[in-house]
Amino acid sequence: MTDSLDLASARKVLAAQPFSALLGARLTAFGKGAATLELDIRDELLQQFGYVHGGVLGYAADNASAFAAGTVAGPRLTTSGLTIDFLRPARGELLRARAEVVRAGRTRVVCRCDLITVDGQGTETLCAVSQGAIAVT
């Protein structure tokens, strides 16, 4: 996953991840230190109060950050740490994880990710933010 890979190639990498396929995740942007991952919010992804489960938000932040890191550091990466702050309940029709590289070093890439829900009218709501450290292996 370097800048020489395009969105179509990155989508093939995502499709090869069984868990991402299970969730129905889609990569909608990839390149120049940023990536956006989206998934439709459906009943199977909710917790008991009807909000998107925190584990789904964590997955989206982790994977979007790893793809963003891959645009600058190549494909040999693994997440070494992730923090997430839940700002408000996640509800809507679409979950969008927008990640960007904050700093790319030789052995570690730090990324920030905004987790946004989109309702039926297209209104975006920021529901969580994360910061991840991606190790270059």
pTM, 2 dp: 0.95
For residues 37-48, give the mean pLDDT: 98
In tens, the pLDDT along 84-135 reads 999 999 999 999 999 999 999 999 999 999 999 999 999 999 999 999 999 9
Residue 40 has pLDDT above 90, yes or no: yes
Secondary structure (DSSP) of the chain: --TTS-HHHHHHHHHT-HHHHHHT-EEEEEETTEEEEEEE--GGGB-TTSSBPHHHHHHHHHHHHHHHHHHHH-S-EEEEEEEEEE-S---SSEEEEEEEEEEE-SSEEEEEEEEEEE-TT--EEEEEEEEEEEEE-
For residues 12-28, give the mean pLDDT: 97
Band of the pLDDT at 1, cuts 50, 70, 90?
very low
